[in-house]
Amino acid sequence: MQIRKVLVHLDPEDISDSFTAKLLLLASAGVEIALFACCYSRPLRNSYLLDKDAEQAAIASYMKKRENDLAKFAKQLGETGASVSYDLCWDSELADRVVKQAEHHAADLILAPKSNHYLGEYLLNQGDWRLISNTSVPLMLVGAESWSAHPRVAAAVEPFLECNSPAQLDHLILGAAKSMVDLLIGELHVIHSFNAIPQSAIFDEHLTTDYDGLRLKVREQHTEALQQLVDEERVNSAVIHLEEGDVHTKLPEVVANEHIDVVVMGAVDHDFFDRLLTGSSIERVIDQITADLLIVPESQPQESDN
């Protein structure tokens, strides 16, 4: 994964200093910034249901204000030497328009503010979840925390994940993490958590008596799989974290203890019943970690050599 152009979806009226600093750091590494605001106001629409001319005039005024704010921010970034463009639209289908805009710009990465997340949105594939599930471009959800001088980037891998191609997804995750580390002159961490078979689930008395041995065997299997992945990606200098426990417990712990700035995770397609019955690793940790979350989709477009 090469990061040459980033589509930044934002609200021009709500841009934090930390968000600006992250964009400037990316721009200083030679990344082209394409700002984009997908605007919509349901209260405004509902206020002019019986007067279409007044509605259009109100929308035009609303969009002009947003465009002025966006142009001002683009100028602020451009004055630092950054390569910046900007665009905006009026559309209620935010996720779809952001994805289309990313495809239009041939963006390598989408940046969007991290919002609050609710179970209903996840189950119904709304909010950030719709953006996560719709995009074939890696997506970074950016929080309020600032990056350190040399950001720590953690790849959360799962060699035994049940998906079409777990090995391929892990390589995509590590590839994205390495790209961020190279771009930001950061530090690479690799995190994998696993669960040994719980003793309560074992009904064979011979296995039960050797539970510690079985647990050790499971750990050895995960250690071997993780080491093979690290060797294949040639990231032996990375800081490795092999943790026994649930991902929604262990990943936030490592992120907090190691002061991780960016966590890279993979996104696997789930239908409604999968989301209802099993959830996803992202859904379990997204509101428990303060680090930015870089989500790598299972299916991605082929990279161009240009």
In a 3-state reduction of DSSP, which class is residue 7?
A: strand
Furthest C-alpha separation in the chain? 79
1-113: CATH topology is Rossmann fold (3.40.50)
The secondary structure of 220-285, three-state, reads HHHHHHHHHHHHHHCCCCCEEEEEECCHHHHHHHHHHHCCCCEEEEEECCCCHHHHHHCCCHHHHH
**What local confidence, expressed as pLDDT, does residue 127 receive?**
57
**What local confidence, expressed as pLDDT, does residue 241 receive?**
96
**What local confidence, expressed as pLDDT, does residue 285 receive?**
77
**Pair 169, 138: CB distance under 8 Å:** no
**Pair 241, 192: CB distance under 8 Å:** yes
Q: How far apart are CA 293 and CA 154, in angstroms?
A: 10
Q: Where are the domains of the chain?
A: 1-113, 145-306
Q: Please, what are the averages of pLDDT over each run of 10 residues along the chain (306 residues)?
A: 93 89 94 95 86 92 95 95 95 91 95 65 51 87 92 91 65 94 96 75 58 81 90 92 90 95 82 39 76 86 52
E strand or H helix at 184: helix 166-184
CATH topology identical between 1-113 and 145-306: yes
Nearest partner of 175 among 133, 135, 235, judged by Cα: 235
**What local confidence, expressed as pLDDT, does residue 159 receive?**
82
**What local confidence, expressed as pLDDT, does residue 169 receive?**
86
Architecture of domain 145-306: 3-Layer(aba) Sandwich (3.40)
pTM for this one?
A: 0.84
Inter-axis angle of helices 17-28 and 166-184, to 10 degrees? 90
Q: Which residue has the tokens 């060797």?
A: 231
